[in-house]
Every structure is written in structure tokens, then in C-alpha cells.
Structure 1
Amino acid sequence: MDQIELARQKATELHDNLVAKGGDPANPLEFILREAKRRDIEVRTYSKGHAQLEGGQALFDADAHAIRHEETGSDFLNAFLIAHEIGHDEFGSAGDATPAMGIDPARSADPAATGAERLLDYSHKGRQEVLMDLFARELLFPRTMARKWYLDEALTAKQISERLGAPYDMVAVQLFDALLLPQIEVTPQKKSKPKQLNPEQKKAATHDGGALLLRAGPGTGKTQTLIGRLEHLRDKGVDPASILVLTFSNKAAGELSDRALDLWPEAAGAIWIGTFHSFGLDIVRRFHDRLDISVEPTPLDPTAAIALLENEFVRLDLQHFKELYDPTDQLKDILSAISRAKDEVVNAPRYKEFADAMRASAVADEDIETAERCQEIAQVYEVYETLKKNGDFVDFGDLVALPTALVETDQQACSLLQDRYTHILVDEYQDVNRASVRLLRALKPDGKGLWAVGDAKQSIYRFRGASSFNMQRFLEEDFPSGSIMNLVTNYRSFQEICDGFVEFANAEMLAAEANVQAVAHRGSSSTKPGFVAVEGKHDEIDEIAARTNAAVGSGIPFKEQAVLCKANDRLADVAAGLESRGIPVLYLGPLFDRPEIKEALSFLSLLTDPRAMGLSCVATIPEFEMLIDDLSVCAERLATGDKPDPLEWKTRLSNSTNLTPNGQGALQSIINALNGLSERSTPWRAFASIYLDNTNLVRGLFKQAQDGISLPAIALWQFQNFLRSVRVDGEGYPVTLILDHIRRLVILSDERDLRDLPTAAQSLNAVRLMTIHGSKGLEFKMVHLPSLTSRSMPSASRQTSPAPPDGMIDGPIHSGKGAVRAGHDEEQECLFFVALSRAEDELVMYSYNNRSKFIDRIAHKLDFPGQLAVTQENATNEKTVGVAFETPLTITPSQLALYEKCPRRFLYAHVLKLGGRRTESAFMKMHGAVQKTIDDLVNPENSIGSEAELEVLYKRHWEARGPTDHGYASDYERAGRQLLTYLFKLRQGETPRSPADFALNLGHAQIVVRPDECTIDSDGKLIMRRIRTGRQTKKSTDTLDAAAYQLAVEPTGDFEFVFLSSEERGSVSMGTTKLNNRRRQIEEATQAIRTGSFPASPKQPARTCPRCPYFFICTDAPSGELSKKTLN
């Protein structure tokens, strides 16, 4: 149980005692004054800004045993300030008599999981203030009381807010905590004595003199030794203000801070404990004038960085990274390359030098292209740095690179920091990048006072620039006068598990030191790690389920077991499979893919979407169930007439006479759920109103959790916490902005921290599922490692991201590609080592295919038991949609193409005809103007014979469709003109003909083909063409729609695709065998459409789903039957 939960439970206990003695919680000020009186604390009220408040809102004066607080004008807020300060008295933090500022009654129990805040941790004082806010809220309005008033007395959040006189936000946040998170039972907390250090730990902790690198293997007590180091410094009389402790995560920093201050309370506020990034920001602020930035620069996360560059992208005239439709992926790759450069303290000019030198020496075509890509990255790097400087931004890479460059070039600044921090302790040294090492070298050039602990074999963050190379060169180059010690006593695992990972480390593991050892303090269990080979993926899940249940039977509960996978997609499959087999799992997965989150997003979208697409998803919720035929009526009604304003759909649909009585009732329930909201409502307040005030949705989720299904409620808690913490700037409706922001987060994979479960969820008795990366630092009684196949572990090095320029990576390999490849191979071994070393008692590995070569390295340390599970046939229960079409089904190639991309999207677009589209970016608007121009250009009735005529045509459509009000409108206009110029020149010498329809009958379907353009070339050959404004891909001319065109037009003429963004044309000319295969696939697709098969199965979900117009509503379709005459 963490400190926050302990504090909240103590507050509940105090609340209950006050109620038992006659206190009335509905009168919060009188209620809290009773507690102050019981403690003999005098409460003094002052006007806001009074000198007695010392610049804060409230203060506990321990000497006078009095609380001073400002007059807020609200009894509840006055009570909250008093309760906050009573918390300081209760938990003994009153000695820190600094005034409280920024008190927040609606503070979250878990910090924000997105945005730049992720890398910025609280100070000890900051964590104390968070704790006191949560204590105060619990003392005045405990979760037990929230559940009673909301569930038993059926009060809404709004009614509770009025009864208490409390801010609505505070009430709603507390209700979400009380109703959506698991209840943690009160357990007596025993004060445990600190463990004594063993001889090897003590030797390391008391080391004095030069730099020390402590190599600490898994489970050897590195954190305990680090705390022992602080104890040694305390006992030596070292000034705590001269100690700097650096680590790599806010969680680790918080835990270290708490443990350090339990040991050394007097050091509170003096020892600097935090992440490298937080320390870097502290230096940036301290020396901002020398860095030519403000004292409070704005941290820039990856999502904001891409938004910053996006508008400039159209002006850069890149070739290899050219993308004139949606440059997000290109910008992501470029920014990743820039971030990697900052890991090496390589600024934009230096990057350009590397790239130019690489281009000058390149001979082979592949090397020339790689060098030119680096040159284009250098071009963007320079622009990016200018934009950041003008906007007063710093990105994550800057937070270490800028301080490092400063201390290496500014001796005065370096000396000030050297004098300040005489002792530097570094946790997880294997995770440092070169920028971090160079910062440490500048602060500790002789190494004296530097104490670092890590394990090169657990270096698994290559994408952050971490490398075991830094461990290897600790003595060789970085701190040659230093020392190395080892911790080999393992307190986590039995000897058999230790033997497994030691064997792997000594089997030529690239990152391992010589002669790795691990001696289990717990001794032997006589049970070796096991490896089980199975037939297929489903069999593997059967086997994991069987062994999980068997372990429960032998005394290892679900919550003490973990399944670790290398990849998120396999993790999701295993989670779903275990749940379907009755195994409780603790795994949220991608938050915005979960059905209950789709429902919430759909509700929010109804506030701003004129076509009300969200009805399709909301109509599947039992409280608002609407059949598919009624949904179709709604979609048709909103598709006719002028485009409605937001929320006008309520009036239009309410006046419809075509809805069934059930449909009318469901519609009214949905309208009632939005009561009191408008298109200007903020997302979190709208969500709270819908779920806490206007519906019974939260009550249903609470009951579901009581019945043992907790994840939907936990996921919605995570979602509302995200909505409350995220900040999105821009013009437009708040809901539209947040939906666009979510899309971008998912496209960039920048929402992964939202998959981490809130702290309260850790109490559930369910199997933990996580990636191997996520398991680092954790331990479990039993660990399952599935999918250890020859292809997945280790995986091949596929360099899809831009390689760094040669010479940029500081290390033994000069080639950028070679350094990345070597780092990948080493990281694969480290991942396996981490996975092997998480288990305490039992470890079982699985493979459904040829097993990993890593298994072979440790085979004689393993058992190979037979399967426990009885193999069962895995039936696929696809849910079909009740829809009937006329025969034959008439369909176009573009519709076929959409069905091939994603059948569910086809359902929404062409069967239900929901309409709608993503918010148009400037690029999309530009393409819209280009497409309208093309439509007119290829029309034989329009005689466009010159570029001047084309320009007039383009200008007309540009004014109507283009981003004319954009700051870079002229650049977008120029980019669009470039697309049209390519098409215009391509058509020179051709004679246009009126395009004709071609009909292709296949089975019970008729494919109707109409080319965008038919022309006769200079050789008299007929060319039929499909014109696309985007880029050509490898399979552009190999798809079902391409096959439909070829089948329909042969032998009349040739068919080709033209791609304007990449200025390419691709002839559609499949061979007989391939074409026959495509014919069969077209027949299968049309038959699937006829039978209502519309699964959500895009080929590249990570790329395509967040870009889909129906991303937020994509769940099962409503039930019922729908009769459709045609798709058109």
C-alpha cells in the first residue's frame, strides 16, 4: 500500500471518529473545526495576501500550534485549507513550516500520464503537498461517504456538490475514485527495521575516494545499497545539500526520496533526488541567461514538437522525406533522429557536418541515399531549433544536451555546480546515454564523489540512446582512476532461476562482463525453469492458462503471477485469450481501443459532430440500445439537406417520423444524457456530467466491478484522469481539439503510458500482463514467457527509421547503420536476460513455433515438461451484421479497396452511410482543392489546354476548398500547384476521351468500373487511368481494386495508377496466376459483404486506425436487421 492510500485511509478513520462523536459532514467547516479543537490547534483566518500567510494560502505554525489560512469566501474551501494543514500535523511534516501554495481539492491520486509533465517529477515538498490535498479531501468527503450518497441515496454529483457547498470538480473526482477504482482494504502496517547490508553491499556503500561503478545483478539489493550509501554519507557528516541523486523515472525518484528521508529526515528539501531530465531542467532554469532562453521555458513533448514543425514542412522542399498529404510519420522519424543526436550532444551544425562528410564519401547508390536523408534531417534540425528558440521551447533531448553543452563550455557555470554537488549518486547507470555521461564527467572530472550502480546486462533502452558501452568504458576512458565492485548475492530468486540467467550471461552475451555469478540467498528449490513447446498460438494460451491455474492450486495466487511478452500485439492476444478461459488479468492494453472508452469518446463527439456518427457506438450500450434499422434512418436523415450545426441533430432526429417506438425512446435517452451540455463544454466536465449526473453508467460499472469485472471501470477512471490533466491549445470546440489530440497521440504511440494501471488497481487478484520493458525492476512469484520463437526472440534488425550519420554515435563502430544494428542485437539479449531474472519461485517459457536460439544456450539448465492443457478446437465466433442486399450486389473498385483495407470501415461508410470525416488539416484541405481541380481537368467537356487555364481553374477551387486563412497558405498553394503541374505535363500529347463504364460480373456481384480518365497516347494506345493525389506504395498496383480495373478493361486497353505526391505512374499488369487469385478474393469479399461480415481487421491497425474517420466509434454494430437495396 503506497503512502497516498495510507494517508487517505487515515483520513477516513478520523472522519468516522468525528461522525461518531456528533460531527456533521454536511457542514464541513464546523466539522473540521471540531478536529482542530480536538488537537488543540488554534485556527486563524486572514485576508488573501496577508503578511501572516507568508505568500501562501495556508500555513501550520508548529511553535504556536496554530493554523493560518486565507479567507476564500467559501466554507468548504476554508475547511479544505484547514484539513490540509491538519494533515501536516498528523504526519509529522509540520517541521517544514513553508506556506502551502497551489492547493487543489480536485487533485488526482496518480500523476498525468501524457505530455511533457511525464519527465518532470515533484520535489519532496511537492509530494507532501499532494499527499495533504488528498488527505484533506478524504477527511471532508471520504470515498465511503461518496459511495453512500451516490449509490444508496441516489444523489448526483451536482446534488452532492450543492449539499456540501463544494466545488463540482472535487466531488466528481472523488466519486470517480470511489466508484471506478478498486477498494483497498485497510491492513495494519508493521514498521520494519532496515535490513542490514551484507559485506559486499557494505563495502560498496562505504567506498570513499574515486569514482565507483557498482555492478549489481538482478535481485542483489542495489537500491538498498544506494540507501546505505546515503546512510554512510550522513554518518560522515556530509552536508545533504551537497548530495545529488539521479535516476531515470519519476517513480524511482519518488521511492528513493521516500526511503532516503525515512533514513535521514533532516535532509528533507536539501538532498536533490530526481531524474536526469528534471535535474537538466533545473540547470536550464538556473543558467537560463547563459543559454539564451527564459527562466521558465515550455517543455515540448513529441506530439507538440510535430505540431510545431508541421506547418514548416510544406516549405522545406524535401525529396526523400517528401509527403504532401499527412507528414506525421515522416516528422516522427525525423524528430526521432534529432532526439538521438541530442543523446550524443550533437547540435544541428555538427549533425550537418556529419551528414555532409557522409555524402562526400558515398559511392554506392544506397549509401548516397542514406547520406542525403541525413542531409535532409540536418535541414529540418536547423529549422526545428529556430522554431523552438522563437517559441521559448525545450524538448526532452534538450534537458540533458543543453546542460551538458553548458558545463563543457562554460567553466564558471561548471565550477558552481561542481562546488554545489560534492557527492553524485547515479541509479541504473546502464540506462545513461552519452550526454548523461559527459554531464557527469564535466561535474566530476576526477571521479571523486561519483557513485554509480547498474547492470549492463539489463540495458534495454537503446531507443533512448542507452548503451552498455557506457558501463564498459567507465574505467577505460570516462573515469580511469575509479573502481568497480560487484554484488552477486541474489535475494529474489531460487538458485535454479539464477543458474538460468547466469548461464545465458556467460554464453557469450555481448553486454555481459566476464564470469557472471549469482548466489541465491534463498538457496535451491529443486525446480528448474521449464520450457514447453506447443503446436500453435491458441495452444500456447491454453497452456499458460492451465499452468496459471495449477500454480494457484499450489499456493501462488493470480496476483503473484506475470505474463511477459516482447511485443504489445501478442500481449493483447494473450490477455484476451486468458480472459476468455476464465483467468482474471490485469491489463488495460491500448486505452483508446477499449470498447468502454470508444463509448465515452462517442458520447463526447455527439456534442460537436453534425452527422452524429457517435450514435452508432452509443446505440450499443444497453441503457441506450437502438436497432440498426433505426440507426440507418438517423444517418439518412442527417445526410439530407444543409449541413447541420453541432447538436442540431437532436432536433432533426426528434422530428423524424420514420423511427420505431424503440428508436424514439433510445434517441430521447441519448438526448437526456447530454442535458445541460453544449458544443463549448470542456471534455472532462462533459464526461463527468454524462456519467455522474445524467445517466446510470457509473452505477452499472460499479456493480460490474463488484461482480469481478473491474477493468472497464479502471479504464474509464484512467480516461477521465487523462481528460482532466491534458491541455490542448488551439482554435475550435474543446471536444474537437481533444479528439484530434488523441488521434495524434495514438499515431505517434505517445499514449503508451496510459496503459499503466493506476496504483489502486495493483490490489486486484489478477495475473499481471506487461511487456518485458515494463517488467524491469519488478519481481513475481511465477513468470510466464510466451512466444519465444526463432523469429521473435531475437528479432531481426529492421532499420525502418533513419540511420544516424556515420561517426555520430560515440562508440567502436563508425557506421551509423552498423552502430544501430549492433545495438539492436545486444538489446535483444538484454531483453531476454531481464525476462529470465524476474521470477522468484517459478519460471516457465513457451513457444508455438521453432524455438528461440536463446533457449538453446541455456537448455541444460531447463526442464522440458509435457503439456498440461488439453488441446481444444478454437472456434472463431465472428459477430455478423444483420443486413440483406439485392442481387446482384453492385460495387465499385474504390468500395472494394475500402473493404480490403478494413471491412468495418466499409460498413460505416457504405452500408450505414454515417458520413463524417477527420478534422481536415491544411494538407488535407490542399488535397481537396487539388482533387476538385483534377475532376474538372479530366472532364472532356472542359477544354483545359494551357497551364494558364489550369491556373485559373486551380485558383477557383483553391479559394473554395484550400486553407486560405492559414499562415503559410501560399506555401500550401504552391505545393498543390506542383501536384497539378506533374499531371498536366504527363497528359501532354494525349487526346482525352469520354470515360466509359465497364461492368464485371463475379458470382453474385457486379463490379462497376469507371476510370478517372481515358486518353489516347501519341502511339494511338488507349490508356485508362486512376489519379490519386497521394504517394505510391509497394502494393498500390497489386490490390483488389487494381485487379478489378484490370479484369474489367482487358483487352480494351491499358490501365494505370498515377500518384501525384510521389510523381509516379504504375501500370496495372498482374500475371495470370496473380490475377486469378485476386478474382477469387474479390468473389470472397463480395460474398462476405452479402453475409454481413464486417470485422474490424485493418492490415496495419497502428497506422490506419487512428487516421480513420470512424476511429472513435469503432465497436460492434447495433443489433437487428437492415435491408439495403444498393451500396450507392
Structure 2
Amino acid sequence: MTEYHNELLEDLDPEQRAVATSLYGPMCVLAGAGTGKTRAITYRIAHGVHSGVYDPRNVLAVTFTSRAAGEMRARLRDLGVGAVEAQTFHAAALFQLRFFWPNAIGGRVPEIKEYKLPFVSQAASQLGMPTDRVSLKDLAEEIEWSKVSLVSPDDYAARAITENRVNIADQSPADIARLISVYEEVKQERNVIDFEDVILILIGIMRDRPDITNRIRNRFKHFVVDEYQDVSPMQHRLLQLWLGDRRDLCVVGDVSQTIYSFTGAKSTYLSEFIKEFPQAQTVKLNRNYRSTPQIVDLANSTISYDQLNGAVHLKSMLPTGRPIDFSKYKDDGDEASNIAGKILSLKNEGRELSDIAILYRTNAQSVAFENALAQAGISYSLKGSEKFFNRREVREAMVALRAAARAEENLELPELVSNTLKGMGWRPDAPENLGAARERWESLHALLNLAEDMWTNRRAKIRDFVIELEERSQLHNVPTVNSVTLSSLHAAKGLEWPVVFLAGMSEGLMPISLATSPDKVSEERRLLYVGLTRAQEELYISYALGNGSRSNRKLSRFLESEWPEEVSASTMKRQRSKATKQSFSEEHPEDVALFEALKQWRQSVAEEIEKPAFVVLHDVTLMYIAVQKPRNLEELGRIKGIGRTKLTRYGFDILSVVNPNVIGGRR
């Protein structure tokens, strides 16, 4: 083994090294959140290739999201094994289907329709079923479940009753079985196929054409499957066909993060892997490198009530961190505005907005946070909104960068990208105001940040950068934008942030009121576990007593044993205010009077504009002003938390409080 191989293995902990060095036979990796599972399996592939055991062209790494596939490909490139295929199940199946379709069926692959609603609507209309958008969405999801679960229309009614999938869109199982059949007929008439058909048709071809199956098996001989707890019966069947009689399979997953059972995912494929592959080696990764001990302890405690077979008890490898912040608010608006205030404090302490996420159970909850953040002047990105690479400025930048790549200027990548963006009107300083101009700046700045990362990590050239952007565009793998992320808990899976706000943690939202069976409640608990383990350094958990009209909400049952002794919101606020004042008065006793005067000025402004006081200026900023005592606008503008807008709007007023002799004060 070469020195490079040894260096690869030295980067791993003992359990990760066991994964990386076991290159033969079936392997099951039970990997808890934040335990470096992607690192372990990519190093396993790299070790296999560099040691000559694997031909990189014969390895297929399968993930569940395009973003994860892109990340894995980038890691494999960095490890010198870029020839390895890393794809989602769907992408890998689609490539094979398109390649073999002319031989197996003839002609070209029909148009693939990712969205079912138009065809579900037509089928429902023919059967006299409701066609409102909510009903159609429920019916489409049930059609998807039947297909990924390999349930035929003839078998659907019996299976639906067995699995308690009843009253979908107020329709009987027999009616939905008829809908599934008519839906397939509608697609045939229009000569289209849907997302699930890509895998189902490939399964049929491989089952009926041994010659094609053998060609696929000769191409791919070693398999790695990530997030194996999310595998559906349809995907499992395809994997079986890819493997045949061979056992060169490594799967990795975490049963405690099984949150897609409602879509057909079966965590038993992971927890009972040893039954399917009796000779399999099992490795547990439990060293958490992501989160502080406080966060890990809470996650362990929360999931311990409902552990599945194969669950991993995490152990944090990080130093102790900040205590978890628990807060209760009077209503949703109060919760949102207070979270916005805390984010302003974090920003003033030097936190990047991209380090922060607000997570919630349902997409409808985002509205209150969008309003509160906008009112506070905080940039945010709504996960699942307009796709980054569809933005006009990003498309224009990619055209300009392709031209720069053809010019082959002899400049370092960050400088070349910066010059190109400046040619489009971008400037290094961000606009003060939110809105379209700020969003455009943030999008282009994200491209520059990516260029700087690629230059730092691998001295990438402009051609490498353009290729990276093209690949990310296809996979919707978005560069980091400096804004607070708003996301549902489901959409947050696989992501992480230094600071996480878990909001709306009340009964009816966590668990959701629709979770009426023990299995569904258990899945809600796992969803909370996913949310908790997204946080790296700071975790804020909150809920609201009401929605503005009624105050009858209760704390989530999942958090009752962990919630601190009940203290009223007003008492907590007074305690925090007292602690802040005490700390400031001890360190800067001579500046307390000025700080109080500045707070009085801020309160009068807040009342005048009818907005919360923190929207004007935060306490931390007022403390900086009281200590530094700026003598003019230039000095005031250098203080953290004073941007161009604040300086223009309040500059002379602040100076008049700091120094009553300043001419021009207006209050």
C-alpha cells in the first residue's frame, strides 16, 4: 500500500477505518447523525480504487437526492477517483433505460412527466372524483405510494386496508384502485411516462431480457447505497436485479432518521439487512462530529423513547457548548418576532446569516417568519422556492463565465470570477436594502464564494469552475447564499447549520395532528430527532401558546421531560435583560447612563414607527455606541450593526444623544 493510501486511512476514526478497509462482501453501516458516514463510504471507494481492488468504472454509488449525489461526486474527485459513478436511483435508472430502450422496446423513450396532477385530474374527472387541488395532491401521492410499493391496481384495495390507508381524498380503496388503472390509461393515450415508471420499466426490461441484465451487471460490480433506511420496495427490487447473485454491496443509513414511511420507504431493509445477507459485516458509527454534547444528549434522550432495531446512541466528540435555549411565546407572531430579534443579536455578534436556519413542521408556518425577518431587515432564503440556477442573474453569469473560460486568462480563479461578475454590474459591497437588488447580489456573491472554496481546496481553474456549475445546475446543488434558511423539517434532512431554531414545537404541530396511529407518532418523533441533529453549535427550541385568537396550545409531548421548569415569558425576558445589564455594568460602569439614554431614544423611535425596538437597533449595537462614543458619522458608521441605511436614518439623532452639543440632532 502506498503512502497515499496510508494517509487516506489515517484521516478516519477506528469505525470509519473498518468501513474503508472492508472491500469485499456485504456490509451494513449503521451510522448515526453527524458521524461522518459520507466520509467513510467515499474513503472506502477511494481505498478500493487506489489499492487496485476496484476498477472505478465498475463502482456505482447511489444516493437519494441530487444534492447528495453532487456532494459525493465532489468528494470522490478530491480523493482522486472521479471516474466513479455517483447517482440517485432515478438518475442511474434513467441513463440505463435510455441506453437500452431502442434495443428492448424500440424507438425513443417517451416524454417523462415529473408532475402527475394534470393526468390525475383527467383520470379523476372521468371517474367523477373531486378535482380540487388538495384532493388531486392527495390522490397523486397515493398513486406514487402504490407504484413505489409495487402494489398493482388489483392488489391495492386489500393492501390499503391492511396498512390503514383509508379515506384518501374521501375515496374508498376500491375507488382509488380504479383511479390508478385509469391514470395509467391516460398516460398511455398521451404516450408519456411518469417519474416512477423510469425504474419500473427498467425492472421489467431486466426481468425479461437476461442479455441486457448481464450487460448492466458487467458494467457495475460494486455498489454503495447511502440513506438505506429510505429505500422503497421498488428501489430495493432494482438493486436486487443490479446485484444478481453477487454480494459486493455496502449500505449505510440511520433507522432513527426514517421519516419517509408515508411515501413507501422501508427501514426494515436496513435494520434486517443481516437477514437478507447472512454473511454481512455490521459496523456502527456513533461518534458525532457535528453537534455539541448538549445537542447530542437532547437528541439521544428524545429518540430513546421510541428506538427502532439498529438505532445508534450518539456520542459527541466536540467540546461542551452553549446551553439549549427553550422559549415559550404568547402567539405565533410573538414567536417569529423574538426569533428575528435573536438572529439580529447573532448577526451583531459576528454570525453569518448563512449559519442560521429556522425549521418548522409545515410549510404554512413559514409566513410568520418571512414577515418577521423582512420587518427586521434580515435576508432569508425559503427552501423549495425559486431554484437558484433558474434566476436570471445566475444564468447570465454562467454565460459570461463560459466566455471567460474560452478566453483562458492567466488569473487565479477568484480574481477571474470577480472580474467577470463586476462586468455584469456586481460590486463587492452588498446593497443595504433587501429586495430584488439584494437577492441578485447574494446570488452572484454565492458564485464567488464557491470559486474561492474551489481555489483554496484544489486550485481549480476557470474551466473546472464552469464544469462544476453546469453539474450543480443539473442536480440543483446550490452554492451557499448568505441568508437565513427557512425550511420544513423534512426538507432539512441531510443539511446542517451552526445555529438552528426549532419553532412551533407544540402538540398538533409536533407531532402533527394527522398522526393518529402509534407508527405515525413514532415517525413524528424521528422527524424531531432529525431537526435536533441539524444543529451544530447552538439550538433554540420554542413554541407559541396560540395563533393570535386562541391560547390553548400545549408543549409537544416529545419535549415535556426535557423542558426546563416552567418560567413565564415575561420573567424570562426580565432575567435575560437583567443578566445583560449586569454584565455590561460590571465591564463598563462608566457607560451605563449613556446606554440607558440610547435605549430611551430607541423606544421613542420604535413607538413612532410602530415597530419592535430591536428593529431600530439592537441592544448590542447600543452598547457598542455607548462604549465607543462616536464623534461623527464616519466613526458611527464603523460600529458593528450600523449599516448605510441606519446611518442615514438615525445617524444625527444618535450623535445628539451621545454628545448633546452636536448640531443637527432632531430629537
TM-score, length basis structure 2: 0.66
2:367 aligned with 1:578: no
- Per the alignment, residue 244 of structure 1 pairs with 60
Per the alignment, do residues 874 and 854 of structure 1 end up closer, same or farther by CA in structure 2, a change over 3 Å counting? farther
- Per the alignment, residue 530 of structure 2 pairs with 834
Residue 829 of structure 1 deviates from its aligned partner by 1.6
- Per the alignment, residue 852 of structure 1 pairs with 556
5+ residue gaps in structure 2?
Answer: 1-6, 393-423, 444-471, 546-553, 578-602, 612-667
Letter in 2 for 1:431: D
Q: Deviations over 1:1001-1035 (max 9, x none)?
A: xxxxxxxxxxxxxxxxxxxxxxxxxxxxxxxxxxx
2:492 aligned with 1:775: yes
2:301 aligned with 1:517: no
2:120 aligned with 1:280: no
- Per the alignment, residue 295 of structure 2 pairs with 497
Per the alignment, do residues 825 and 414 of structure 1 end up closer, same or farther by CA in structure 2, a change over 3 Å counting? farther
Per the alignment, do residues 312 and 235 of structure 1 end up closer, same or farther by CA in structure 2, a change over 3 Å counting? closer
Letter in 2 for 1:414: T
- For the 8 Å contact 1:280–1:399, the answer to whether it is kept is yes
When the two chains are superposed, the root-mean-square deviation of aligned CA atoms in Å is 4.2
Residue 778 of structure 1 deviates from its aligned partner by 2.0
- Per the alignment, residue 146 of structure 1 pairs with none
Per the alignment, do residues 489 and 366 of structure 1 end up closer, same or farther by CA in structure 2, a change over 3 Å counting? closer
3-state SS, counterpart of residue 172 of structure 2:
helix
Per the alignment, do residues 775 and 310 of structure 1 end up closer, same or farther by CA in structure 2, a change over 3 Å counting? closer
Residue 450 of structure 1 deviates from its aligned partner by 0.2
CA distance in 2 between partners of 1:306 and 1:787 (Å): 31
Letter in 1 for 2:341: A
Counterpart mapping for 1:622-771 below 5 A = 706-711=431-436, 714=439, 759=478, 762-764=480-482, 766-771=483-488
- For the 8 Å contact 2:383–2:487, the answer to whether it is kept is no
Residue 279 of structure 1 deviates from its aligned partner by 1.0
3-state SS, counterpart of residue 706 of structure 1:
coil
- Per the alignment, residue 514 of structure 2 pairs with 797
Higher relative contact order (CA 8 A, sep 6+): 2
Residue 458 of structure 1 deviates from its aligned partner by 1.6
CA distance in 1 between partners of 2:492 and 2:203 (Å): 30
Number of residue pairs matched by the alignment: 502
2:364 aligned with 1:549: no
Per the alignment, do residues 558 and 308 of structure 1 end up closer, same or farther by CA in structure 2, a change over 3 Å counting? closer
CA distance in 1 between partners of 2:505 and 2:286 (Å): 27
CA distance in 1 between partners of 2:227 and 2:534 (Å): 16
3-state SS, counterpart of residue 341 of structure 1:
helix
Letter in 1 for 2:48: L
Per the alignment, do residues 354 and 197 of structure 1 end up closer, same or farther by CA in structure 2, a change over 3 Å counting? same
- For the 8 Å contact 1:559–1:767, the answer to whether it is kept is yes
CA distance in 1 between partners of 2:266 and 2:353 (Å): 35
- For the 8 Å contact 2:29–2:282, the answer to whether it is kept is yes
- Per the alignment, residue 461 of structure 1 pairs with 260
- For the 8 Å contact 1:565–1:771, the answer to whether it is kept is yes
3-state SS, counterpart of residue 254 of structure 1:
helix
Q: Deviations over 1:509-555 (max 9, x none)?
A: 4x4635x3222221323x33231122222221233133323434555
3-state SS, counterpart of residue 197 of structure 1:
coil
- Per the alignment, residue 533 of structure 1 pairs with 328
Per the alignment, do residues 557 and 250 of structure 1 end up closer, same or farther by CA in structure 2, a change over 3 Å counting? closer
Per the alignment, do residues 296 and 354 of structure 1 end up closer, same or farther by CA in structure 2, a change over 3 Å counting? closer
- Per the alignment, residue 73 of structure 2 pairs with 257
Per the alignment, do residues 703 and 529 of structure 1 end up closer, same or farther by CA in structure 2, a change over 3 Å counting? closer
Residue 876 of structure 1 deviates from its aligned partner by 12
- For the 8 Å contact 1:528–1:862, the answer to whether it is kept is no
CA distance in 2 between partners of 1:862 and 1:248 (Å): 41
Q: Deviations over 1:319-361 (max 9, x none)?
A: 4x1x5xx566555444332221220233xxx32244389899x
- Per the alignment, residue 355 of structure 1 pairs with 157
- For the 8 Å contact 2:333–2:368, the answer to whether it is kept is no
Per the alignment, do residues 250 and 574 of structure 1 end up closer, same or farther by CA in structure 2, a change over 3 Å counting? same
Per the alignment, do residues 226 and 551 of structure 1 end up closer, same or farther by CA in structure 2, a change over 3 Å counting? same
Letter in 1 for 2:514: S
- Per the alignment, residue 143 of structure 2 pairs with 338
Per the alignment, do residues 332 and 791 of structure 1 end up closer, same or farther by CA in structure 2, a change over 3 Å counting? closer
Per the alignment, do residues 378 and 518 of structure 1 end up closer, same or farther by CA in structure 2, a change over 3 Å counting? closer
Letter in 2 for 1:575: E
- For the 8 Å contact 1:532–1:864, the answer to whether it is kept is no
Residue 277 of structure 1 deviates from its aligned partner by 0.5
Per the alignment, do residues 552 and 591 of structure 1 end up closer, same or farther by CA in structure 2, a change over 3 Å counting? closer
Per the alignment, do residues 530 and 368 of structure 1 end up closer, same or farther by CA in structure 2, a change over 3 Å counting? closer
3-state SS, counterpart of residue 251 of structure 2:
strand
Per the alignment, do residues 876 and 483 of structure 1 end up closer, same or farther by CA in structure 2, a change over 3 Å counting? farther
- Per the alignment, residue 15 of structure 2 pairs with 200
- For the 8 Å contact 1:212–1:482, the answer to whether it is kept is yes
Letter in 2 for 1:198: D
Which deviates more from structure 2 when the two are superposed, residues 224-233 or residues 583-592?
583-592
Per the alignment, do residues 497 and 232 of structure 1 end up closer, same or farther by CA in structure 2, a change over 3 Å counting? same
- Per the alignment, residue 242 of structure 2 pairs with 443
3-state SS, counterpart of residue 466 of structure 1:
coil
Residue 794 of structure 1 deviates from its aligned partner by 0.3
3-state SS, counterpart of residue 532 of structure 1:
strand
Q: Deviations over 1:63-114 (max 9, x none)?
A: xxxxxxxxxxxxxxxxxxxxxxxxxxxxxxxxxxxxxxxxxxxxxxxxxxxx
Residue 260 of structure 1 deviates from its aligned partner by 1.0
2:182 aligned with 1:380: yes
5+ residue gaps in structure 1?
Answer: 1-191, 598-697, 719-752, 800-820, 879-1128
Residue 500 of structure 1 deviates from its aligned partner by 0.9
Counterpart mapping for 1:95-494 below 5 A = 196-237=11-52, 238-265=54-81, 268=83, 271-289=84-102, 292=105, 294-302=107-115, 305-308=116-119, 316=126, 318-319=127-128, 321=129, 323=130, 330-346=135-151, 350-355=152-157, 370-387=172-189, 391=191, 393-445=192-244, 448-476=247-275, 478-494=276-292
CA distance in 2 between partners of 1:582 and 1:331 (Å): 38
3-state SS, counterpart of residue 373 of structure 1:
helix
CA distance in 2 between partners of 1:457 and 1:369 (Å): 33
2:322 aligned with 1:507: no
Per the alignment, do residues 412 and 860 of structure 1 end up closer, same or farther by CA in structure 2, a change over 3 Å counting? farther
- Per the alignment, residue 148 of structure 1 pairs with none
Letter in 2 for 1:853: R
Residue 455 of structure 1 deviates from its aligned partner by 1.2
Per the alignment, do residues 788 and 420 of structure 1 end up closer, same or farther by CA in structure 2, a change over 3 Å counting? same
CA distance in 2 between partners of 1:473 and 1:292 (Å): 36
TM-score, length basis structure 1: 0.40
- For the 8 Å contact 2:64–2:88, the answer to whether it is kept is yes
Q: Deviations over 1:662-698 (max 9, x none)?
A: xxxxxxxxxxxxxxxxxxxxxxxxxxxxxxxxxxxx9
Per the alignment, do residues 480 and 858 of structure 1 end up closer, same or farther by CA in structure 2, a change over 3 Å counting? farther
